[in-house]
Amino acid sequence: MAKAKEVDPSVKLDAIDQKIIAILRKDGRATNQELARRLGMAAATVSARIRRLEASKAMKVVAVTDFAAIGYKVLLAVGVQVQGRPAEHVAQDLAKLPEVFSVHVVTGARDIETLVALHDFDELHSLLLRDIAKIKGIRTIECGIAAEVVKYNFEVAPIS
């Protein structure tokens, strides 16, 4: 399984870096000029800091879409137990499915945990029986439907 690139250990985030990241979390469209004005520094300095943060893999500016805005109404947690094949290989196959947006090789009762988004419940049968169950090495599948999302935080994530 591909791992996120490691942050350059020589890069230390100071208070200004933390403020830049905090502002961009709230408004990813903020321009360097806006950041500079809010931080009381030159736009060129802000730009250089952002380039350094991105190059070191300490930060990445991305757009995030709300599930509901693009028609997803069902969120599932799918736990998978693996047998006869490395969990990493099964996880790579699961990651290829378009409905699967998060795959984690874990310790505990299951070998892999995934998060899946579906447009409606009609897609569930097809996903479980046609797609997931046919992946070699899957012993069992346990599916939990999210009744309510209490917290879903994109502020901190591995950058691949």
Domain boundaries 15-55, CATH class:
mainly alpha
pLDDT at site 16: 94
| In contact, 102 and 108? CB cutoff 8 Å | no
Please report which confidence band the pLDDT of residue 2 belongs to, taking 50, 70 and 90 as the band edges. Answer: very low
Give me the residue spans of the domains in the chain.
15-55, 68-145
* Residue 112 scores a pLDDT above 50: yes
pLDDT band at 158 (very low <50, low <70, confident <90, very high): low
For residue 34, is pLDDT > 90? yes
Q: What is the pTM of this model?
A: 0.66
Closest CA to 23 of 14, 8, 12, 34: 34
- Matching CATH number, 68-145, of 3.30.70.920, 3.40.30.10, 3.90.1300.10, 3.40.50.2000: 3.30.70.920
